């Protein structure tokens, strides 16, 4: 039907006779000569209709409207001198049309199909098939394709087998809320959609499959965010006879390659590494953005018995005084903005925030300056390294709350002070996170990663035990994480003990896995990497929606297909399901 693609034509094609198919992106009618920008997936090329040379085609060209689908035949020629369009990949040439055929007409689209037009998010989702025609969105789809292709090219020679795991699986009590699928064959019972193929990939290791990977859809029925949806895709990996270094040595070159191929940037390997504790100490976060500095300092000892009562009390009660220094912050931020920082810190749960503007001659300007001794003033300057023009922000609170507040502050200030470079790709691993977390809700210890995560040492004291787990962070986003798994039944038993699980619970929740492990489980470990987020970062976007073909709205609704929707009563009958409250009235969407 066609000989070439619109977007592929170059100077080398000059003189060629071509037939193209595509959508009318723009029509420029000069009364005589008429130009049309013809678009397909590969790009846009200018086609020219001359009234004298091809009167019939030119007449048809007058009728053409935006998004009509046409097929044209003509010859490629170099554009006349001075007429080239350097902004267009095909801009050196144009196609002189001899005949044109309208394959389909189109209604006027609800928004212009152009990158620079920012239509309403909802409208874009409703008409996703039009939104995806925009070159920017086409690029996003291609980016995902390239990432997937790169993964397969990387994993195959390393001996990884791509194995599919079921979509209909079993509800797990741990972790996120499951999406449930009612069973017709077993009325009253439900399948669950996978939150991840965690247990299945471990079973594949027991099955002797050695190295497994899968690009797999996972689903979690939790409130979506800009960087996390109800369904998402992960690169799931599991390796037998593997330790941390084996996992890292598979993932690092892959991610370096993705950055090289999609950004044209060489990132250095090995990636930076930090212990979880060090990361929290230095950045107040388990996913710090290392494209800029502003590391946190701890000043607790400086305020023991201080004249500044608020900090003295925090220090006495076992809290911490931590802070960061915003370069040029005092020079740039207004008083109003400084007050906003305090409000934001409170909004993040901290008791408050103290800002200290450093002025010339080591003088300080701060609401609390009058409470500080000279020793404290000098201590602050020395410990933080602040120089005139800088802004020092201090938070005194329980260590977790201080970290949360300062992490948020650090991110906000970096953006406000323009410290973030779009061209830097700062990977960092953390290792040795806590094995357990205390759950206030359940009033017991729970697994930080999951119950099969191997402890770092014999220490299983929940307050201090560390895990053989790891996370990879890029530019302040968590890309993924995993762990070395327990293969020793006795250690597994002790972990279950800490988690307060009875033998009955263990049997009902994890019986199949435990049983499998009795038949010769190899030492193994793995990792799961979020691909939506990776694509989002590589595309320079703020939301994973922008790198998904058909995303849902934040409510979980699907504006394109109209789901979720009520179903026919007969369908419910068959499943043995009665709806208690009608989900939502008609037209409520």
Residue 93 in tokens = 């040439």
- Binding segment toward RNA, per CB under 7 A, in 32-40, 130-138, 154-162, 289-297: 32-40
Partners of 237 in the β-ladder: 213, 527
123 near RNA, rule: CB under 7 A: yes
Residue 188 vs 588, nearer CB to RNA: 588
Beta carbon of residue 394, minimum distance to RNA (angstroms, whole number): 22
CB burial class (10 A; 0-12, 13-18, 19+) of residue 216? buried
Residue 452 CB, nearest approach to RNA (Å): 12
Between 111 and 190, CB nearer to RNA = 111
Smallest gap from residue 467 Cβ to RNA (A): 9
Give CA–CA dist 283/455, Å, rounded: 25
Q: Which residues inside 396-435 make contact with RNA, applying CB under 7 A?
A: 433
- Nearest-angstrom CA–CA distance, 529 and 258: 13
CB contact set of 81 (below 8 Å; sequence gap of 6+): none
Cβ distance to RNA smaller for residue 33 or 572: 33
Interface mask toward RNA for 128-167; x: CB under 7 A: ----------------------------------------
Q: How far apart are CA 113 and CA 562, in angstroms?
A: 23
Q: Which one, 47 or 513, has the nearer CB to RNA? A: 47
How far is the C-alpha of 443 from the C-alpha of 460, rounded, in Å?
A: 18
Please give the residues from 325 up to 354 whose contact with RNA meets the rule CB under 7 A: none
Residue 430 CB burial class (10 angstroms; 0-12, 13-18, ≥19): buried
Positions in 228-257 near RNA (CB under 7 A): 228
Closer to RNA by CB, 170 or 378: give it.
170
Footprint of RNA on residues 189-218 (CB under 7 A)?
Answer: 195
Closest separation between CB of residue 197 and RNA, Å? 13
Which of positions 457-496 make contact with RNA (CB under 7 A)?
A: 469, 478, 480-481
Asked whether position 509 contacts RNA by CB under 7 A, the answer is: no
Residue 198's SS3 state is helix
- Out of 176, 549, 561, 583, which residue is the one contacting RNA (CB under 7 A)? 176
Q: Does 376 bind RNA (CB under 7 A)?
A: no
Residue in 14, 16, 91, 412 binding RNA, rule: CB under 7 A: 91
Q: How far apart are CA 404 and CA 345, in angstroms?
A: 9
The verdict on 111 binding RNA (CB under 7 A) reads yes
- Pattern 432-461, binding to RNA, x per CB under 7 A? -x---x---x------xxx-----------
To RNA, the closest distance from the beta carbon of 539 in angstroms equals 14
Paired with 71 in beta bridges are 21, 101
Answer yes or no whether residue 170 interacts with RNA by CB under 7 A: no
What contacts 381, CB < 8 A, 6 or more positions away?
A: 358, 362
User: Which residue shows structure tokens 């107040």?
Assistant: 284
Nearer to RNA, 124 or 211 (CB): 124
Residue 13: exposure state from Cβ atoms within 10 A (0-12, 13-18, ≥19):
buried
| Site for RNA contains 87 (CB under 7 A) | yes
- Rounded to the nearest 5 degrees, what angle is found at the Cα of 128, between the Cα atoms of 125 and 133? 140
Given 105, 177, 217, 512, the residue binding RNA (CB under 7 A): 177
Residue 427: name the closest of 255, 542, 235 by CA: 255
**According to the binding rule CB under 7 A, does residue 94 interact with RNA?**
yes
Residues 31-43: b if buried by 16+ CB within 10 A, e if exposed:
eeebbbbbbbebb
- Report if residue 75 touches RNA, rule: CB under 7 A: no
The alpha carbon dihedral of 161, 167, 170, 175 has a sign of positive
| Cβ atoms of 564 and 583 closer than 8 Å | yes
Provide the minimum distance between the beta carbon of 570 and RNA in the complex, in angstroms, as a whole number: 26
Minimum CB separation from RNA for residue 37, in Å? 6
* Smaller CB separation from RNA, 79 or 260: 79
Rule CB under 7 A: is residue 50 a binding residue for RNA? Answer: yes
Q: Which of residues 284-323 bind RNA (CB under 7 A)?
A: none
Query: Which residue, 195, 159, 153, is CA-closest to 175?
Result: 195
DSSP characters over 95-154: EEEEEEEEEE--PPPSS--STT----HHHHHHTHHHHTTSHHHHHHHHHHHHHHHHHHHH
The size of the interface with RNA (CB under 7 A), counted in residues, is: 72
Q: Which is nearer to RNA, 198 or 366 (CB)?
A: 198
Piece in contact with RNA (CB under 7 A), picked from 223-231, 261-269, 493-501, 565-573: 223-231
The distance in angstroms from the start CA to the end CA of the chain is 42
Among 10, 79, 365, 444, binds RNA (CB under 7 A): 79
Q: Which stretch binds RNA (CB under 7 A): 82-90, 135-143, 380-388, 411-419?
A: 82-90
Give the nearest distance from C-beta 385 to RNA in angstroms.
Answer: 29
CB 225 within 8 A of CB 243: no
Position 169 contacts RNA (CB under 7 A):
no
Based on the shown chain and the rule CB under 7 A, indicate whether residue 543 belongs to the binding site for RNA. yes
Residue 3, by phi and psi: left (phi above 0), alpha (psi -120 to 50) or beta?
alpha
Considering the rule CB under 7 A, would residue 22 count as an interface residue with RNA? no
If phi > 0 it is left, if psi is from -120 to 50 it is alpha, else beta; for residue 264 that is left
* Residue 118 sits in the site that holds RNA (CB under 7 A): yes
Measured from the CB atom, the residue of 12 and 122 that comes closer to RNA is: 122
- Closest to RNA by CB, 108 or 490: 108
Place of tokens 């003509």: 74
């Amino acid at each position: 039907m066609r000989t070439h693609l619109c977007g592929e034509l170059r100077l080398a094609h000059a003189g060629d006779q071509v037939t193209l198919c595509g959508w009318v992106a723009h029509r420029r009618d000069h009364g005589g000569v008429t130009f049309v920008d013809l678009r397909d997936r590969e790009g846009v090329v200018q086609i020219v209709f001359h009234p004298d040379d091809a009167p019939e085609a030119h007449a048809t060209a007058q009728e053409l409207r935006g998004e009509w689908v046409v097929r044209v035949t003509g010859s490629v020629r170099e554009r006349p001198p001075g007429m080239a369009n350097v902004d267009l990949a095909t801009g050196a040439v144009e196609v002189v049309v001899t005949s044109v055929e309208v394959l389909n007409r189109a209604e006027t689209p609800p928004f212009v199909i152009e990158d620079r037009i920012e239509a309403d998010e909802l409208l874009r989702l409703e008409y996703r098939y039009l939104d995806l025609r925009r070159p920017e969105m086409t690029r996003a789809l291609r980016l995902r394709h390239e990432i997937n292709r790169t993964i397969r090219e990387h994993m195959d020679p390393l001996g990884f087998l791509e194995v599919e795991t079921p979509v209909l699986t079993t509800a797990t009590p741990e972790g996120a809320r499951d999406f449930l699928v009612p069973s017709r064959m077993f009325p009253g019972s439900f399948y669950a959609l996978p939150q991840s193929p965690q247990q299945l990939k471990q079973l594949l290791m027991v099955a002797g499959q050695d190295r497994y990977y899968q690009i797999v859809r996972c689903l979690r029925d939790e409130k979506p965010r800009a960087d996390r949806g109800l369904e998402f895709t992960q690169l799931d990996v599991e390796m037998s006879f593997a330790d941390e270094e084996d996992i890292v040595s598979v993932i690092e070159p892959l991610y370096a390659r993705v950055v090289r191929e999609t950004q044209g940037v060489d990132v250095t390997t090995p990636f930076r590494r930090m212990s979880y504790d060090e990361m929290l100490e230095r950045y107040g976060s388990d996913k710090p953005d290392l494209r800029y500095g502003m590391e946190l300092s701890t000043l607790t000892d400086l305020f023991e018995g201080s004249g500044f009562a608020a900090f003295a009390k925090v220090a006495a009660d076992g809290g911490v005084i931590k802070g960061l220094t915003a370069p040029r912050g005092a020079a740039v931020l207004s008083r109003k903005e400084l007050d906003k920082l305090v409000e934001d810190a409170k909004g993040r749960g901290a008791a408050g925030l103290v800002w200290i503007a450093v002025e010339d001659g080591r003088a300080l300007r701060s609401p609390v300056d009058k409470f500080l001794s000279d020793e404290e003033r000098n201590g602050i300057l020395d410990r933080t390294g602040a120089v005139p023009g800088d802004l020092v922000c201090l938070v005194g609170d329980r260590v977790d709350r201080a970290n949360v507040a300062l992490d948020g502050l650090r991110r906000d200030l970096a953006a406000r002070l323009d410290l973030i470079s779009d061209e830097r790709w700062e990977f960092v691993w953390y290792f040795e996170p806590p094995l357990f977390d205390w759950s206030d809700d359940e009033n017991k210890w729970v697994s930080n990663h999951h119950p099969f995560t191997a402890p770092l040492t014999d220490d299983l004291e929940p307050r201090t035990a560390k895990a053989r787990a790891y996370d990879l962070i890029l530019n302040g986003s968590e890309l993924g994480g995993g762990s070395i798994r327990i293969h020793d039944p006795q250690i597994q038993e002790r972990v279950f003990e800490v988690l307060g699980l009875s033998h009955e619970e263990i049997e009902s929740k994890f019986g199949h896995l435990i049983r499998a492990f009795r038949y010769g489980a190899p030492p193994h470990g793995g990792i799961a990497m979020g691909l939506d987020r990776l694509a989002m970062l590589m595309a320079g976007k703020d939301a994973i929606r922008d790198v998904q073909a058909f995303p849902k709205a934040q409510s979980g609704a699907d504006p394109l297909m109209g789901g979720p929707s009520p179903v026919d009563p007969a369908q419910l009958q068959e499943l043995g399901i009665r709806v208690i409250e009608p989900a939502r009235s008609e037209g409520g969407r």
